[in-house]
A and B are shown apart, each in its own frame.
Chain A
Amino acid sequence: MRIIISNSSEDPIYEQIIKQIKNQIINGELTEQESLPSIRKLAGELGISVITTKRAYEELEREGFIDTVGGKGSFVASQNKEFLREKKMKVVEEKLTEAVSEARMLDIGVKDLKEMLNILYGEEE
């Protein structure tokens, strides 16, 4: 697991933790059943408050990304493949939405945009 806390970020620290753990689960860096550090350990390592890490874990649990077993700690939840794919799709959708609104601002039409996408997609292949 890799967590970098930025002090100058507008996002509260607990959100930064949530985002990074989520991303690592979605992109497979953190795998099913992998155990996460305890709330206190993580707080100690990052030099932040226990309440902050607790809140992050609680949120992740509520959203179904991790499970916390009393006395045993927290684990990456078994994700159903469909669910994960959906989450990832959502990320793509968000980025595209962003691109579309930028394009609109610059008066770039759908046709041109599609062409750009074709070229980019082709390059990636």
Chain B
Amino acid sequence: MENILEINSLRKEYDNFTLNDVSFKLPYGYIMGLIGPNGAGKTTIIKLIMNLIRKKSGDIKVFGTDNIENEIDIKSRIGFVYDIPPFYDHLTLNQNKAITAQFYREWDQDLFLRYVNDFDLDIKAKFKTLSRGMKMKFQLAMALSHNAELILLDEPTSGLDPVFRRELLDLFSGIIQDEKKSILFSTHITSDLERIADFVTFIKEGQIVFTDEKDSVLESWGVVKGGKELLEKEEASMFKGIKKHEYGFEALVSDVSQARKSFSTSVTIEKPTLEDIMFFMTSKNGGEDA
């Protein structure tokens, strides 16, 4: 598979945070979810792809070429949605659009107006008067109206009601129909990804925990539930992130078939959700082997 986005050994240092050795790739025609708790480095990765901040080392290839060497060409082919909208508060949507649209070679005014209509946006309204959800919709309309091939979205679904979130996910499925466009979106609302994402990259404290096909993640990982005496067993070393309660424990395993072999019927093993994985891997006493 050819990759629309390829990140290799990316590193970025801040005083109190380091993004370390981040590598992943996204092929043409697919959707990838970037998940992780707040402060994990999701926004930093997206900003590095957009070359808004300077990396320490590593490289980023977009459409097969270096994202800094070919910055202008690449950016005109990317549609982005930031967590903080890059628009002027005191201008109307139409004025904001006019300012931004001129930077794109392939601005599609008809498409823009279609989104404005679909999203119920009032283009004469000042940006600052919009609700958080409407601001997001305006950003989306802008991101999707210049024939972008790679869509980067930073927490696009936060602040949106469930109805629009579903509609948005439908919209995403529609975008990748032609096999040439891809979507990378960060989110901590993992249920949005549970169905539509093809790939999931999980990042925690600046490091990749895994980057894989979503289906294989959900098939190989599992949540094990059983009595606390099992934690004494040697096999308990496979548990990642254990949550004990008065009457038993729950833990995450990355190899569900091995867990089945080791514990057979003494435990209940359930399919995990992405949220389970994120929870067990990041909760306070979780993350490390017991």
- A12-B215, A12-B219, A14-B215 in contact; A49/B177 too (CB < 8 A)? no
Beta-carbon contact of B195 and A50 below 8 Å: no
- A12-B215, A12-B219, A55-B215 in contact; A49/B174 too (CB < 8 A)? no
Beta-carbon contact of B198 and A47 below 8 Å: no
Note all chain B residues with C-beta closer than 8 A to A52: 215
- A12-B219, A40-B179 in contact; A51/B213 too (CB < 8 A)? yes
Give the CA-CA distance A47 to B171 in the complex, in Å. 10
**Residue A47 contacts which of B173, B177, B214, B215 (CB distance < 8 angstroms)?**
B173
Per-residue CB proximity of A80-118 to B under 8 Å, as 1/0?
Answer: 000000000000000000000000000000000000000
Beta-carbon contact of B177 and A51 below 8 Å: no
Residue of A12, A51, A52, A55 contacting most chain B CB atoms (<10 Å): A51
Residue of A nearest to B200 (CB): A49
Give the CA-CA distance A48 to B172 in the complex, in Å. 11
Beta-carbon contact of B177 and A41 below 8 Å: yes
Give the CA-CA distance A14 to B173 in the complex, in Å. 17
Note all chain A residues with C-beta closer than 8 A to B177: 40-41, 44
Beta-carbon contact of A44 and B215 below 8 Å: no
**B169 at interface (Cβ–Cβ under 8 A)?**
yes
Note all chain B residues with C-beta closer than 8 A to A10: 271
Per-residue CB proximity of B124-145 to A under 8 Å, as 1/0?
Answer: 0000000000000000000000
**A43 at interface (Cβ–Cβ under 8 A)?**
yes
Give the CA-CA distance A121 to B216 in the complex, in Å. 44
Residue of A nearest to B31 (CB): A49
Residues of B in contact (CB 8 Å), total 21
Give the CA-CA distance A88 to B174 in the complex, in Å. 37
Beta-carbon contact of A51 and B179 below 8 Å: no
Residue of B nearest to A41 (CB): B177
Q: How far does the Cβ of A49 sit from chain B's closest Cβ, in whole Å? A: 5
Give the CA-CA distance A49 to B197 in the complex, in Å. 5
- A49-B197, A50-B30, A50-B198 in contact; A44/B213 too (CB < 8 A)? no
Beta-carbon contact of A51 and B214 below 8 Å: yes
Residue of B nearest to A50 (CB): B198
Residue of A nearest to B173 (CB): A44
Beta-carbon contact of B176 and A48 below 8 Å: no
Q: How far does the Cβ of B196 sit from chain A's closest Cβ, in whole Å? A: 6
Q: How far does the Cβ of B248 sit from chain A's closest Cβ, in whole Å? A: 22
Give the CA-CA distance A12 to B219 in the complex, in Å. 8
Q: How far does the Cβ of B179 sit from chain A's closest Cβ, in whole Å? A: 7
Q: How far does the Cβ of B277 sit from chain A's closest Cβ, in whole Å? A: 16
Residue of B nearest to A52 (CB): B215
Beta-carbon contact of A49 and B271 below 8 Å: no
Q: How far does the Cβ of A36 sit from chain B's closest Cβ, in whole Å? A: 16
- A50-B29, A51-B213 in contact; A44/B174 too (CB < 8 A)? yes
**B235 at interface (Cβ–Cβ under 8 A)?**
no
Note all chain A residues with C-beta closer than 8 A to B176: 40, 44, 50
Q: Which of B245-284 contact A (CB under 8 A)?
A: 271
Give the CA-CA distance A51 to B170 in the complex, in Å. 16
Q: Which of A13-71 contact B (CB under 8 A)?
A: 13-14, 40-41, 43-44, 47-52, 55
Q: Using a CB–CB distance below 8 Å, which chain A residues touch chain B? A: 10, 12-14, 40-41, 43-44, 47-52, 55
Interface pairs A-B: 3 shortest CB-CB = A44-B173, A51-B198, A49-B198
Q: Could you write out 24 A-B pairs with CB less than 8 Å apart?
A: A10-B271, A12-B215, A12-B218, A13-B215, A14-B215, A40-B29, A40-B179, A43-B173, A44-B173, A44-B177, A47-B173, A47-B195, A48-B195, A48-B196, A49-B31, A49-B196, A49-B198, A49-B215, A50-B29, A50-B176, A51-B30, A51-B199, A51-B215, A52-B215
